[in-house]
Structure 1
Amino acid sequence: MREVLDRSAGVRLSADEYRADFRERFWQSHEYDFWKLERRQTFAEPGDESWVAFSHGDWETALRLIAARRPQYESDARRMAELGFASYRVRVVEAPLTPYLQWELRLLRLMGATSDRVRVLDAARVGLHEASGPLPEVVTLGADVTYEVLYDDAGLADGAIRHTGAALTAACRQFIARLYESGEDVVAYVDREVAALPPPVPPRG
């Protein structure tokens, strides 16, 4: 997939510009489903209260804050149904799970049980597509918008490259959909592989 995302052909957005652009376009998707591919194993999300609690070692609070999002996700699910589109996510995972993924998978489990269709895929299943490097973080919206979402070395959001074009967006959507078909439902995966793990120890430094 990285080969088809020519960064020089897209528009570079800052983190704030990406968030604003995404919010404006998401609820206009209508007939076209939302697709997201996540490949990196660690991110930093200082704007997320649950992540902050996790990063401070307060696992109980992190889980409580995740659970508190259920009403919002249920509301999002109803709105997406009314507008006629769905949200699909593929989360690539490596073993052993990073502390971040232990946290994020709990969040994705709630999303999978309420608003989104989320599947988990072992990294070994995408190796064939990574001869030139790890798969990028990719989002498709509507008929013709694709974002390559960017992060710095610490995993902090660093904006995105926005590509427009129906053919490129369709190709990216189809690629993520094929990975989705090979994945496992996030609820089943988390209940089997994650739920019984001890609280993650966040990295220091």
Structure 2
Amino acid sequence: MPSEVLEPLRLRRSAGERLTREVYRPDFRRRMEALRDSGFWKLERRQHFEEIGSASRDALRRGDWAAALRLFDERRPQLAQEKQKDAQRGLVKYRVRIVRQPLSPYVQWELHSLRQQAEYGTRVRVVRTEQLGGLEAAGPLPELVSLGGQVLYEVCYTRDGVPDGAIRFTAPDTVRRAEELIKGLYRIGEDIAPYFAREVAPLPPPPAA
């Protein structure tokens, strides 16, 4: 159970603006690039996604675990470059990953990615589903991204986990409450390094997924 009481988040989707995937991606990119001396907060709850445009994710899908991990290693120069740019902009990235045991193939794969991103400055913590308490009394937590306390996206997916745009919220109180929830979950989470060493590193390769 959480060591602190976190308030459930009730988003009124009608108060936001529904963006298609084609609109969401450039909108997010533009706002992200404009951030200075601020924080990026992301909450991931779903246990399966169908990433689009990821060669490593494609390798997992066809069951080639060695290739999936090799492709992660090949992106290290890109991550180092992003870290330098973030430092120049005063941007700090925080991510909270909700996990359910046993790990799904997707989450096992993603935790390898997140562990690597943490090596390059992203602050990642893991929260187990049993820590959520009453936060999910009304259903699973949404997928959220908050940019500098200025804008909030509830990222949308199809039933199969395919990206499907987002709902954009800009009302200050809505953005603040969502960011407070992500920060609260981050506080009760475990740093990805010890979690990965204990729960992920010993696992055999996952099945194709």
CA gap of 1:173–1:89, structure 2 versus 1, over 3 A, is same
Specify the alignment match of 2:102 in structure 1: 96
Q: 2:32 aligns with which of 26, 29, 41?
A: 26
Taking the TM superposition and a 5 Å limit, the aligned residue runs for 1:1-205 are: 1-3=8-10, 5-203=11-209
- Which runs of 4 or more aligned residues in structure 1 lie more than 3 Å from their structure 2 counterparts after TM superposition? none
Give the Cα–Cα distance (whole angstroms) in 2 for the partners of residues 40 and 66 of structure 1. Answer: 21
Instruction: Assess if the C-alpha contact under 8 Å between 1:74 and 1:115 holds in 2.
Output: no
Deviates further, 41-50 or 85-94 = 41-50
CA distance, structure 2, for counterparts of residue 97 and residue 157 of structure 1: 21
Distance apart, 1:151 and its partner CA: 0.5
Percentage identity across paired residues of the two chains: 48
Q: For structure 1, which segment, 51-60 or 40-49, has the greater mean C-alpha deviation from structure 2 after superposition?
A: 40-49
CA distance in structure 1 between the aligned counterparts of 2:9 and 2:140, rounded to whole angstroms:
8
Query: How many pairs were matched up?
Result: 202
Please list every run of 5 or more consecutive structure 1 residues that lacks an aligned counterpart in the other structure: none
Q: Matched residues in 1 for 2:148 and 2:190: separation? A: 25
Q: What one-letter code is carried by the residue in structure 1 that aligns with 2:105? A: P
The structural deviation recorded for 1:127 is 2.9
Query: In 2, Cα distance between the equivalents of 1:132 and 1:65?
Result: 38
Counterpart of 1:76, as a letter, is: E
SS in 2 for 1:86: strand
Residue segments in structure 2 that go unaligned for 5+ positions in a row: 1-7
Q: Is the 8 A contact 1:88 1:117 kept in 2?
A: yes
CA offsets per residue over residues 133-156 of structure 1, 9 Å max, x none?
A: 000000001232000001111100
TM-score of the two chains, using structure 2 as the length reference: 0.93
